[in-house]
Amino acid sequence: MLDLLIINGSCPDYEAGEMVQKNIGLKDGKIAWMGAAGAELPEAAEVIDAAGKVVSPGFIDIHMHEEKFLTEGKDYSISQMMLDMGVTTAVGGNCGEQYQRMSEFKAVLEDLGGAPVNYVMLAGYNTFRVKMGIGRYEHATQEQMEELKKSIQEELAEGAWGFSFGIEYDPGITYEEMLFACGASDNPNHLVSAHYRADCIDDIASIDEMVKLSAAIPQKFQISHLSSCSAIGQMQPSLDCINKAMETNPKLNYDTYPYNAFSTTMGSAVFEDGCLDAWKKDYDSILLTDDPYKNVYCTEEIFKKARAEYPDMLAVAFVMNEEEIAAAIANKNGMVASDGIINNGNGHPRAAGTFPRVLGKYVREDKVVSMVDALRKMTYEPAKRLGLEAVKGQLSVGADGDIVIFDPQTIIDKADFAHLEGPVGIEYVLIGGQKAIAEGKKINDRLGRFMPFEQ
């Protein structure tokens, strides 16, 4: 007898490229049976009738930023938000930032008896660079590069899935330095991601650098949060460049998020002199998120003061163009990812709304992408990136029971820049066949595990 049957739901069929009505049976944490509409149903201990709902593989967030256990305490914040929006597996350690060593991260998850979602981690290159005292604009010496490579290798040995660069944050990182660091592994299944060098007028040169690096290294390579760097007038040439490169280099891809504002810390090199001119925006396009400037839009004076005195404060910059955000989501390549980052409970709403926002705004309201393509970009594509497509990212017999059931008529994000409210429309989330969310309520936030790289 099956543990659970989910009947009458509309499911993505990625091979056919359409939504198809199917019935799904789960047993022992996995999908054990699938049948077309009208097929005779096997016996099950429990049945969920998903008529009128979408039944999708759990969302896989290929780009987010994990909890800061060392500085903010041993508790979950961002992964709770991930679960609330239907994510079942999330990838932390992006943009070169890693908030604690892999061993420390694993130990806390163990202590807490699991996590709200499954966690994949990358090693953050910049974190090690900063720890070694290498200045942001300084080039690393040969000796320092050797040591950085060793640190990355230590994290890979602890289960990291790959590593990440945040080039814009430490402009001293050269192409040669990255190429050298990529020598930390020769495994084609490792994932390397990069927040690229510069946005706006330097954008295409930055993408060229990423395309070149991707072609020169053995690992898979992900251009991070394309919209935050390219949706300032450069999206179409950026997409053309990436699409063309992907024709000959399938190891390359990108992710993007559905908001026209990005967020980063005030001390970041992103906010260097001249940034506003380059974005063609004024100081009041920058919103601060923490005391003493919580929810305050900058003036020149506040901007300079916040940058000097509160370099770790998160700021939100409303500088991107909506049509370009939509183009990055609708493009034939690419994935949807949150780039979620939370500081003491505050941050950009993408951490709490990305996936429902794509399904509500870009699929249902604006119709810039079909339901099946949007779901593919948040399930199957990221699963392939991680080499997990046999067990995650699609509904097939033998796959893990990581499933989200949502109402396509109502799903939408509710978080804004003042309140990180959860979305509406998510009815069930299953992780490993067990209910994390049932009838819209969270009932178990410890079903996720640290997933070490084992390929």
Q: Binding residues for Zn ion, per CB under 5 A? A: 95, 195
Please, what is the minimum distance in Å from the beta carbon of residue 281 to Zn ion? Answer: 19
Please, what is the minimum distance in Å from the beta carbon of residue 405 to Zn ion? Answer: 31
Closer residue to Zn ion in complex, CB, 95/198: 95
The token pair that represents 220 in the structure block: 């898979």
Closer residue to Zn ion in complex, CB, 193/331: 193
Closer residue to Zn ion in complex, CB, 95/245: 95
As beta bridge partners, residue 317 has 262, 286
The DSSP result for 295-312, as a single string, is: TEE--HHHHHHHHHH-TT
Please, what is the minimum distance in Å from the beta carbon of residue 95 to Zn ion? Answer: 3
The token pair that represents 78 in the structure block: 């961002």
Closer residue to Zn ion in complex, CB, 91/95: 95
The token pair that represents 105 in the structure block: 């991260």
Please, what is the minimum distance in Å from the beta carbon of residue 84 to Zn ion? Answer: 22
Closer residue to Zn ion in complex, CB, 48/78: 78
434 phi, psi to nearest 5 deg: -105, 150
Please, what is the minimum distance in Å from the beta carbon of residue 194 to Zn ion? Answer: 9
Closer residue to Zn ion in complex, CB, 192/372: 192
Strand ranges in 117-160 using DSSP code E only, listed in sequence order:
118-121, 123-124
Helix (H, G, I), strand (E, B) or coil at 259: coil
Cα 377 to Cα 233: distance, rounded to the nearest angstrom: 23
Q: Are 404 and 336 in contact (CB under 8 A)?
A: no
Please, what is the minimum distance in Å from the beta carbon of residue 225 to Zn ion? Answer: 5
Closer residue to Zn ion in complex, CB, 128/380: 128
Residue 196 CA: distances (Å) to CA of 228, 313, 350: 10, 22, 20
The DSSP result for 154-175, as a single string, is: HHHHTT--EEEEETTT-TT--H
Name the DSSP class of 40: P
Residue 343 CA: distances (Å) to CA of 57, 86, 99, 264: 29, 21, 12, 10
Using the CB atoms, write b or e for 393-430: b if 16+ within 10 Å: bbbeeebbbbbbbbbbeebbbbbebeebebbbbbbbbb
Closer residue to Zn ion in complex, CB, 95/313: 95
Please, what is the minimum distance in Å from the beta carbon of residue 93 to Zn ion? Answer: 12
Closer residue to Zn ion in complex, CB, 272/282: 272
As beta bridge partners, residue 30 has 27, 400
Cα 443 to Cα 435: distance, rounded to the nearest angstrom: 7
The token pair that represents 125 in the structure block: 């290159």
The token pair that represents 330 in the structure block: 């609708």
